[in-house]
């Protein structure tokens, strides 16, 4: 499994919809196993590694090590 943290600089995530719409833009062909959502960030886990789309410098995607 591979887990990613998505952060928007200077903006908040719309946590009224889970998964958020930004996931379709970042990972258009992937289905997440789990999604944890707050206004500050989104933690998403996939079964296999994914390559996120480049949405510019205000969208930061980092890999979180899994135990």
Q: Which of 58, 67, 64 is nearest to 26 (CA)?
A: 58
Q: For position 18, what pLDDT does the model report? A: 75
Q: For position 11, what pLDDT does the model report? A: 84
Q: For position 2, what pLDDT does the model report? A: 95
Q: For position 38, what pLDDT does the model report? A: 86
* Parallel, antiparallel or unpaired: strands 41-46 and 2-8: antiparallel
Q: For position 43, what pLDDT does the model report? A: 94
Structural domain spans, the chain: 2-64
Q: For position 13, what pLDDT does the model report? A: 81
Structure tokens at 29: 């062909």
Q: Which pLDDT tens digit goes with each residue over 11-45? A: 888 878 777 888 989 999 889 999 998 888 999 99
Task: Report CA dihedral (17, 26, 65, 5) to the nearest 10 degrees.
Answer: -50
Residue 51's SS3 state is: coil
């Amino acid at each position: 499994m591979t887990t990613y943290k998505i952060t928007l600089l200077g903006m908040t995530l719309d946590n009224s919809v889970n998964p958020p719409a930004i996931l379709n833009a970042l990972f258009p062909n992937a289905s997440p196993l789990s999604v944890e959502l707050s206004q500050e960030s989104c933690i998403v886990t996939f079964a296999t590694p994914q390559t996120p789309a480049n949405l510019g410098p205000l969208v930061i995607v980092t890999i979180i090590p899994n135990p």
